[in-house]
Amino acid sequence: MPSRTAVQIISSGVVGIRIIPAPGIRDGYIIAETRAFALNPTDCHHVDGLGGPGTIVGCDWSGVVKEVDRDVTRSKKGDEVYGICHGDIGNTVELEDGAYADIIACKEHAEFHKPKDLSFEEAASLVAALVTAAKLSGCRVYAVCSPSNFDLVKSRGADHWFDCNVPECVEQIQSVAGSSITYFVDCVGSQESSNFCGKVLSPAGGHNLKAPLPESFKALRPEEAAIAMTAIAYTLLGETFELPGGIVFPADKDEEAFAKKWAVVIEKLVLSQYIRPHPVDIRQGGGVGRNTRGLG
């Protein structure tokens, strides 16, 4: 049986490099040889208790297609691609999934063709850059970040940017936006960030897209018009999974169908350079095992 090298969770806070069987081809999946991985902040949370023993770490990757299922139509052997895998958290059903391995399985609509002018390292980071699609959707974008990232968010289309470290940040945003903010993407998902979103979101209501869970936001903004939505990228795969604490996400075929359409749009936007990767910090050498140094 073919084997591969992978980074697996051993126990809470502990990962190991293991030689395990290579994944088999499944319906609607491709098999790829990886060339680069992106260290997503979510990976660290998974290793520190959210992921189960035996699961493979990692979500974001790039590589070359090695094999495709007979029903796959968007990709073929030899294509250079990037995408997202369901690594670690909540994936106790398919333990062979996950990005931090030299050979991986990925669902067809969760991988995209890599532009020729991008490196594999840049492509691996592109999944995180897809949030810049807000500007392309016609939104006026208010970015909250550290001053060191002001130039970056400006270059990616933000209309206004604010220092997240100053106590009067909420007031500064309100002085510019008034009560017009009706969508908020909370990339932190803490009690503090929920409180921040609740204060900035329009009194008339709107949508707060939050990771991972929305309860703390609803405690602050319980009115019906303030809609708290959970954002977990794995739902786009259309497969059931369970988070720690027994929180089950059943397979959502409507969301999977939307993701299949969105994948085509995203690929075109990236190929046309409307969506660009964020700056990357490249760590050379070491192969699969190199990623373990960033998980602490």
pLDDT (tens digit per residue) in 37-62? 998 877 877 777 667 788 899 999 99
Which residue has better confidence, 158 or 136? 158
pLDDT of residue 12: 77
> Is 3-128+247-295 a CATH 3.20.10.10 domain?
no
- Bridge partners of 23? none
The model carries a pTM of 0.85
- Span 185-190, average pLDDT: 80
- Span 88-101, average pLDDT: 79
pLDDT tens by residue, 75-90: 999 999 999 998 877 6
Domain residue spans of the chain: 3-128+247-295, 130-231
DSSP secondary-structure letter at 50? I
Rounded CA gap, 117 and 107, in Å? 24
Per CATH, the homologous superfamily of domain 130-231 is: NAD(P)-binding Rossmann-like Domain (3.40.50.720)
Check for a shared fold between 3-128+247-295 and 130-231: no
Rounded CA gap, 279 and 155, in Å? 11
Question: Is the separation of the CB atoms in 69 and 27 below 8 Å?
Answer: yes
Which residue has better confidence, 91 or 167? 167
The distance from CA 255 to its chain's CA centroid, rounded to whole angstroms, is 16
User: CA nearest 23: which of 9, 3, 8?
Assistant: 3
Q: How confident is the model at residue 63 (pLDDT cuts 50, 70, 90)?
A: very high
pLDDT of residue 22: 95
